[in-house]
Amino acid sequence: MTPLISPSELRSLLEGEPAPALLDVRWNLMGPPGRQEYDRAHLPGAVFVDLETELAAPAGPGGRHPLPEAEQLQRAFRDAGVDSERPVVVYDAGDGSVAARGWWLLRWAGHARVFVLDGGFAAWVEEGGATTTRVPHPEPGDFVVRPGGMPTADADAAARLARTGVLLDARAGERYRGEREPVDPRAGHIPGAVNAPAAEHVTADGRWRAPEELADRFAGLGVSGTDEVGAYCGSGVNACSVVLALEQAGLRSPEAPAVLYPGSWSEWAGDPRQEAAVGPEAG
């Protein structure tokens, strides 16, 4: 089962029973707030779920977007109408890198039928999909969060993975190389990690690349179907799109997904004991 759903496939799904729960998770590190975008227009029936307060715990030593507590996450998903048997579709502004966080968390929590809208809100509008400003109030869902459905790594495990397998850094190249660091305490990357910018998973219009293209891209980064592979980014959000992209490419499966380092660079850079590599080489 592909983790992506097209706008036309979503329209068909919305006409069936049970209709999917729709989660709007638009967010941008530099703004504007996703709630403003949602209030301006969203898919009919979509519930806004806030990355900062619902899909992450408060920032701290564990990074800028640590994994939320199970109770917090369950409350957010239930308030959005998420049921155990009902499919869920998550969308963001366009490229899926933030929607992948919602997808990953639902899978981590034990939901089996989760999709990311390919091209997000922009693709929906481009293909003539209806939008609204009406805020829905769905019946509370019954979904029970059972953490552990997706593998994670702490800092030590991520460091080992960078040496024994392939650890992919989803940040832009200049941040990986240490040329620019706009938000975290130090610049650079985890020694041994390979740069795999999340923005390169999609084409210029925000649609995901074909599985064959993604597989070729990952092969060029040293990933095979048998390697141990993991991902991190600045705060554990965009790296979720690497996990999704590996599955879409056929290099990982729902039964054996890639590992996520949730603390990511924001945790690593805040710990003076951890070394930082700079430059284009893995180090």
Catalytic residue positions, numbered:
233
34/25 Cα distance (integer angstroms): 7
Residue 210 DSSP class:
P
Torsion angle, alpha carbons of 88, 111, 196, 124, to 10: 0
236/242 Cα distance (integer angstroms): 11
Q: Are 123 and 89 in contact (CB under 8 A)?
A: no
Q: Are 47 and 77 in contact (CB under 8 A)?
A: no
190/206 Cα distance (integer angstroms): 28
167/109 Cα distance (integer angstroms): 23
170 to 75, 193, 240, 241: CA distances (angstroms): 29, 10, 9, 8
Burial class (CB within 10 angstroms; exposed 0-12, middle 13-18, buried 19+) of 180 = exposed
| CA-only gyration radius of the chain, Å | 18
Query: Closest by alpha carbon to 101, among 248, 254, 237, 264?
Result: 237
Q: Which pair of tokens denotes residue 131?
A: 């939008």
170/83 Cα distance (integer angstroms): 31
Q: Which residue in the block uniquely carries the two structure tokens 């029936």?
A: 45
Q: Residue 36 CB: number of other CB atoms within 10 A?
A: 10
